[in-house]
Amino acid sequence: MAGSAAGPGSPGRSPFVRGRHGAPALKRVSSRVRCGAVGGAPTGRPGDSWGVDSGTTIFLFLAGAAVLGYTAYHSGQRWALAARDGGATLHSRPHQYGWFVACWGMLPATAVGVGAWVIQLSGWLNLVEYAVLIAAFAVGGAGMWLGRHLLRPQLRARNALDRLIRRLLLAAGLVSILTTFGIILSIVFESIRFFHMVSFIDFVTGTTWAPDSAFLEGAGRGAEGASKADFGSVPLFAGTFMITVIAMLVALPVGLLSAIYMAEYASHGVRGMAKPTLEVLAGIPTVVYGFFAALTVAPLVVDLAGLLGLDASYNSALAAGLVMGVMIIPFISSLSDDVINSVPNAMREGSYALGTTKSETIKQVILPAALPGIISAFLLAVSRAMGETMIVVMAAGMRPNLTWNPLEDMTTVTVRIVDALTGDQAFDSAETLSAFALGLVLFVVTLALNLLSVILVRRFRQKYASS
Helix ranges (H only) for 32-93 are: 52-85
Nearer to other proteins, 146 or 314 (CB): 314
Q: How far is the CB of 392 from other proteins (least distance, A)?
A: 10
Three-state secondary structure call for residue 316: strand
Please pick, from the candidates 77, 233, 240, 286, the single residue that binds other proteins as defined by CB under 8 A.
286
Please pick, from the candidates 44, 253, 272, 306, the single residue that binds other proteins as defined by CB under 8 A.
253
Question: What letter does residue 285 receive in the DSSP assignment?
Answer: -
- Taking CA atoms, 456 is separated from 233, 370, 375, 377, 463, in Å, by 30, 11, 8, 9, 11
- If one asks whether residue 177 binds other proteins (CB under 8 A), the answer comes out as yes
DSSP, residue by residue, 400-465: ----S-TTSB---HHHHHHHHHSSS--TTSHHHHHHHHHHHHHHHHHHHHHHHHHHHHHHHHHHTT
- x/- track of binding to other proteins for residues 35-74 (CB under 8 A): --xxxxxx--x--xxx------------------------
Nearer to other proteins, 123 or 225 (CB): 123
- If one asks whether residue 233 binds other proteins (CB under 8 A), the answer comes out as no
- x/- track of binding to other proteins for residues 76-115 (CB under 8 A): ----------------------------------------
Nearer to other proteins, 133 or 437 (CB): 437
- If one asks whether residue 375 binds other proteins (CB under 8 A), the answer comes out as no
115: alpha, beta or left? (left if phi > 0; alpha if psi -120 to 50): alpha
Please pick, from the candidates 110, 342, 403, 422, the single residue that binds other proteins as defined by CB under 8 A.
422
- If one asks whether residue 345 binds other proteins (CB under 8 A), the answer comes out as no
Name which of 314, 318, 450 is nearest 379 in CA terms. 450
Please pick, from the candidates 88, 192, 204, 295, the single residue that binds other proteins as defined by CB under 8 A.
295
Asked if 2 contacts 51 with a C-beta cutoff of 8 angstroms, the reply is yes
Asked if 322 contacts 392 with a C-beta cutoff of 8 angstroms, the reply is no
59/127 Cα distance (integer angstroms) = 17
Nearer to other proteins, 199 or 296 (CB): 296
- If one asks whether residue 363 binds other proteins (CB under 8 A), the answer comes out as yes
Please pick, from the candidates 204, 287, 310, 371, the single residue that binds other proteins as defined by CB under 8 A.
287
Name which of 338, 296, 317 is nearest 250 in CA terms. 317
Q: How far is the CB of 408 from other proteins (least distance, A)?
A: 21
Nearer to other proteins, 172 or 308 (CB): 172
Nearer to other proteins, 123 or 153 (CB): 123
330/384 Cα distance (integer angstroms) = 12
- Among the candidate windows 98-106, 202-210, 225-233, 439-447, which touches other proteins by CB under 8 A? 439-447
Nearer to other proteins, 364 or 467 (CB): 364
Please pick, from the candidates 33, 80, 236, 340, the single residue that binds other proteins as defined by CB under 8 A.
33
Asked if 157 contacts 85 with a C-beta cutoff of 8 angstroms, the reply is no
